[in-house]
Amino acid sequence: MTLFPFASPFRSGHAMSTQHRDDAIAHTAASVSAAPGAVEANAFKIRARDVNVFYGDKQALFDVNLDVPGKSVTAFIGPSGCGKSTFLRCINRMNDTIPSAKVTGAIEIDGNDVNAKSVDPVVLRSRVGMVFQKPNPFPKTIFENVAYGPRIHGLATGKAELEAIVESSLKKAGLWNEVSDRLHQPGTGLSGGQQQRLVIARAIAVSPEVILMDEPCSALDPIATARIEELIDELRSQFCIVIVTHSMAQAARVSQKTAFFHMGKLVESGATEDMFTNPRDSRTQDYITGRFG
Amino acid sequence: MTDAARSAGAAKRAPLTAREAMLKKRHRSEAWFKAQGVAAIIIAMIFLVVLVGRVVGQGYSTFLTHSISVPVYLDPSRVDAAALEGVNYDYLVAEGMMKKLGVQDDDLGLISGKVMDLTSRDLGFQLLNQLKADPSLIGKTVTVTGPMKADADLYYKGEIKRSTLEEDRKLDNQQLDWLDQLQKSGAVTAGFNVKFFTNSDSTEPEQAGVLGAVVGSAMMLLITALIAVPVGVMAAVYLEEFAPKNRWTDVIEVNINNLAAVPSIVYGLLGLALFINWLHVPRSSPLVGGLVLALMALPTVIIATRSSLKAVPPSIREAALGVGASKAQTVFHHVLPLAMPGVMTGAILSLAHALGETAPLLMIGMVSFVPGVPEGFTGASTVLPVQVFIWENASERAFHERTAAAIIVLLVFMIVMNAAAVILRRRFERRW
Q: What is the pLDDT of residues A228-272, one digit of tens each?
A: 999 999 999 999 999 999 888 899 999 999 999 999 999 999 999
Antiparallel, parallel or unpaired: β A128-131 and A210-214: parallel
**Could you tell me if B291 and B271 are in contact, meaning their C-beta atoms sit under 8 angstroms apart?**
yes
For residue B27, the model assigns a pLDDT of 93
* Section B275-293 average pLDDT: 91
**pLDDT over 70 (residue A36):** no
Strand order through the sheet with B141-147: B141-147, B64-73, B188-192
For residue B104, the model assigns a pLDDT of 83
Distance from CA of B66 to the nearest CA of A (A): 59
Distance from CA of B245 to the nearest CA of A (A): 8
Split at pLDDT 50, 70, 90, the class of A25 is very low
For residue A24, the model assigns a pLDDT of 38
DSSP H/E element including A196? helix A192-204
Split at pLDDT 50, 70, 90, the class of B52 is very high
ipTM, 2 decimals? Answer: 0.79
Q: Which residues of B touch A55 (CB under 8 A)?
A: none
Q: How many CB atoms lie within 10 A of CB B100?
A: 18
Cβ contact, residue pair A94, B318, below 8 Å: yes
**pLDDT over 70 (residue B414):** yes
Q: What is d(CA B374, CA B148) in angstroms, rounded to the nearest whole number?
A: 27
Nearest to A125 among B317, B321, B338 (CB): B321
Nearest to B257 by CA among B236, B234, B243: B236
Question: Within a 13 Å sphere around the CA of B305, how many CA atoms are in the beta-carbon half?
Answer: 30
Cβ contact, residue pair A138, B322, below 8 Å: no
Closest Cα in chain A to B315? A136
Distance from CA of B316 to the nearest CA of A (A): 6
Nearest to B71 by CA among B101, B111, B112: B101
In Å, how far from its chain's centre is CA B119? 28
Strand order through the sheet with A101-109: A112-113, A101-109, A44-55, A58-69, A265-271, A257-262, A73-77, A240-244, A210-214, A128-131
For residue A14, the model assigns a pLDDT of 43
Antiparallel, parallel or unpaired: β A265-271 and A257-262: antiparallel
* Site from A97, A136, A213 to mutate, B interface, most B CB atoms within 10 angstroms: A136
* Section B41-50 average pLDDT: 96
**pLDDT over 60 (residue A28):** no
Nearest to A238 by CA among A215, A279, A264, A210: A210
For residue A129, the model assigns a pLDDT of 92
Nearest to A206 among B316, B318, B324 (CB): B324
Tell me the range of B2-11, B31-40, B423-432 where mean pLDDT is highest.
Answer: B31-40
CATH topology of domain A18-34+46-288: Rossmann fold (3.40.50)
For residue B101, the model assigns a pLDDT of 86
Q: Which class for B265: exposed (0-12), middle (13-18), buried (19 or more C-beta within 10 A)?
A: middle
Q: How many CB atoms lie within 10 A of CB A248?
A: 23
Q: Which residues of A touch B321 (CB under 8 A)?
A: 94, 97, 125
pLDDT one-digit tens code per residue, A82-125: 889 999 999 999 988 888 889 999 999 988 888 888 889 889 99
Closest Cα in chain B to A89? B322
Among the residue ranges A25-34, A222-231, A262-271, the one predicted with the least confidence is A25-34
**pLDDT over 90 (residue B233):** yes
Q: Which class for A9: exposed (0-12), middle (13-18), buried (19 or more C-beta within 10 A)?
A: buried
Tell me the range of A9-13, A39-43, B281-285, B293-297 where mean pLDDT is highest.
Answer: B293-297
pLDDT one-digit tens code per residue, B159-181: 888 888 888 888 888 888 898 88
Q: Which residues of A touch B329 (CB under 8 A)?
A: 152
What ranges do the domains of chain B cover? 3-61, 63-197, 211-428
**Could you tell me if B270 and B295 are in contact, meaning their C-beta atoms sit under 8 angstroms apart?**
yes
**Could you tell me if A200 and A233 are in contact, meaning their C-beta atoms sit under 8 angstroms apart?**
no
Q: How many CB atoms lie within 10 A of CB B388?
A: 22
**pLDDT over 80 (residue A2):** no
For residue B394, the model assigns a pLDDT of 86
Among the residue ranges B20-29, B106-115, B122-131, B210-219, the one predicted with the least confidence is B106-115
Q: How many CB atoms lie within 10 A of CB B172?
A: 12
Split at pLDDT 50, 70, 90, the class of B291 is very high
Closest Cα in chain A to B314? A136
**Could you tell me if B114 and B174 are in contact, meaning their C-beta atoms sit under 8 angstroms apart?**
yes
Nearest to A152 among B318, B322, B325 (CB): B325
For residue B230, the model assigns a pLDDT of 96
Nearest to B384 by CA among B363, B364, B404: B404
| Domain B211-428 sits in CATH 3.30.1130.10 | no
In Å, how far from its chain's centre is CA B185? 38
* Section B82-101 average pLDDT: 85
Among the residue ranges A11-15, A278-282, B107-111, B204-208, the one predicted with the least confidence is A11-15
For residue B158, the model assigns a pLDDT of 84
Cβ contact, residue pair A126, B322, below 8 Å: no
Residue type, B52: V
Antiparallel, parallel or unpaired: β A101-109 and A73-77: unpaired
Q: What is the mean pLDDT of chain A?
A: 83
Q: How many CB atoms lie within 10 A of CB B327?
A: 17
- If DSSP states are collapsed to H, E and C, what string results for B325-352? CCHHHHHHHHHHHHHHHHHHHHHHHHHH
Antiparallel, parallel or unpaired: β A240-244 and A73-77: parallel
For residue A30, the model assigns a pLDDT of 37
DSSP H/E element including B269? helix B264-271
For residue B41, the model assigns a pLDDT of 97
What ranges do the domains of chain A cover? 18-34+46-288
pLDDT one-digit tens code per residue, A158-183: 899 999 999 999 998 889 999 989 99
Distance from CA of A73 to the nearest CA of B (A): 19
Nearest to B321 among A94, A131, A138 (CB): A94
If one compares A8 and B3, the residue with the highest pLDDT of the two is: B3
Cβ contact, residue pair B333, A203, below 8 Å: no
Q: Which residues of B touch A94 (CB under 8 A)?
A: 318, 321-322
The radius of gyration computed from the CA coordinates of chain A, to the nearest angstrom, equals 19
Split at pLDDT 50, 70, 90, the class of A136 is very high
Helix, strand and coil content of chain A, in percent to the nearest 5, comes to 40, 25, 35
Nearest to A152 among B319, B329, B430 (CB): B329
* Section B363-391 average pLDDT: 88
For residue B422, the model assigns a pLDDT of 86
Among the residue ranges A8-22, B182-196, B393-407, the one predicted with the least confidence is A8-22
The radius of gyration computed from the CA coordinates of chain B, to the nearest angstrom, equals 32
Nearest to B315 among A124, A134, A186 (CB): A134
Q: What is d(CA A232, CA A238) in angstroms, rounded to the nearest whole number?
A: 10
Q: Which class for B307: exposed (0-12), middle (13-18), buried (19 or more C-beta within 10 A)?
A: middle
Provide the percentage of residues in chain A whose pLDDT is more than 70.
Answer: 85
Work out the angle between the directed axes of helices B173-185 and B89-101 (0-180°, nearest 10): 70
Q: What is the mean pLDDT of chain B?
A: 88
Among the residue ranges A8-17, A34-43, B223-232, the one predicted with the least confidence is A8-17
Produce one character per residue of B151-164: b if its CB has 16 or more CB atoms within 10 Å, e if not: bbbbbbbeebeeee
Q: What is d(CA A243, CA A232) in angstroms, rounded to the nearest whole number?
A: 9
What are the residues whose beta carbons fall under 8 Å from the beta carbon of A124, sequence distance 6 or more?
A92, A93, A114, B324
Split at pLDDT 50, 70, 90, the class of B430 is low
Antiparallel, parallel or unpaired: β B64-73 and B141-147: antiparallel
Q: Which residues of B touch A206 (CB under 8 A)?
A: 323-324
Distance from CA of A152 to the nearest CA of B (A): 7
Cβ contact, residue pair A152, B323, below 8 Å: yes
For residue B217, the model assigns a pLDDT of 93
In Å, how far from its chain's centre is CA A177? 24
Q: Which residues of B touch A91 (CB under 8 A)?
A: none
Split at pLDDT 50, 70, 90, the class of A21 is very low
**Could you tell me if B224 and B350 are in contact, meaning their C-beta atoms sit under 8 angstroms apart?**
no
Tell me the range of B220-224, B343-347, B369-373 where mean pLDDT is highest.
Answer: B220-224
For residue B15, the model assigns a pLDDT of 62
Cβ contact, residue pair A123, B334, below 8 Å: no
Question: Would you list the DSSP string of B236-247?
Answer: HHIIIIIS--SH
For residue B3, the model assigns a pLDDT of 54
